[in-house]
């Protein structure tokens, strides 16, 4: 039975690449900080604008629920047709591309849904849809 006469090397961890990366990150952040400091010292007057529109894009389509009895619910609040028209008119003033989806009760009269669609059109909404369920 042969005996081992030499010892296996113990695994070592080479820290040189990690130290190089840390030094590169330190240099990167130091240079970045210097640029931010220079940016603050620039004497510049930014132009002024008159119209303050929305800075963000329009939210998802608003969902309007129309129940069998004609009641209207938007954002879990029950409102009248006139309140809906006023609310959508103010929303389209801020977001002109606002869209709505009308979910009407299938057993209710279509006139209730038609009235809501008319109110949406009067509020200036062009992107309207009706929610339906596929029968399989």
DSSP letter at 48 equals P
Report CA dihedral (12, 16, 21, 23) to the nearest 10 degrees.
Answer: 140
C-alpha neighbours within 13 Å on the C-beta side of residue 105: 13
pLDDT at 101: 92
Q: Which residue has the higher pLDDT, 4 or 93?
A: 93
CB neighbour class for 64 (10 Å; exposed up to 12, middle 13-18, buried from 19): buried
pLDDT at 71: 92
Residues 28-72 pLDDT 10s: 998 888 776 666 666 666 667 666 666 666 678 889 999 989 899
Buried/exposed code over 97-121 (b: 16+ C-beta within 10 A; e: otherwise): ebbbebbbeeeeeeebbebbbebbe
pLDDT over threshold 80, residue 73: yes
pLDDT at 7: 72
Q: Which residue has the higher pLDDT, 123 or 135?
A: 123
pLDDT at 79: 94
Tell me the Ramachandran region of residue 76: left when phi exceeds 0, alpha when psi lies from -120 to 50, beta otherwise: left
Question: Can you tell me whether residue 95 is helix, strand or coil?
Answer: coil
Domains and CATH numbers, the chain: 62-130 (3.30.420.270)
β-bridge pairing 99-104 and 62-66:
parallel
pLDDT over threshold 90, residue 16: yes
Contact in structure between 116 and 102 (CB atoms under 8 Å): yes
Residues 93-130 pLDDT 10s: 888 888 999 998 888 888 999 999 999 999 999 899 88
Q: Length of the chain, please? A: 136
Rg of the chain over Cα atoms, rounded to whole angstroms, equals 32
Rounded to two decimals, what is the model's pTM? 0.57
């Amino acid at each position: 039975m042969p005996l081992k006469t030499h010892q296996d090397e113990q695994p070592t961890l080479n820290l040189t690449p990690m130290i190089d990366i840390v030094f590169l990150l330190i240099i990167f952040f130091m240079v970045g900080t210097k640029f931010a400091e220079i940016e603050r010292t620039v004497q510049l007057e930014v132009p002024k604008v008159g119209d303050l529109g929305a800075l963000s894009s329009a939210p998802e389509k608003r969902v309007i629920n129309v129940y069998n009895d004609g009641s209207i619910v938007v954002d879990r609040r029950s409102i009248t047709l006139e309140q809906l028209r006023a609310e959508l008119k103010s929303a389209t003033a801020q977001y002109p591309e606002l869209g709505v989806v009308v979910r009407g009760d299938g057993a209710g009269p279509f006139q209730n849904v038609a009235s809501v669609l008319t109110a949406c059109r009067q509020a200036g909404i062009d992107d309207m849809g009706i929610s339906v369920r596929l029968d399989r």
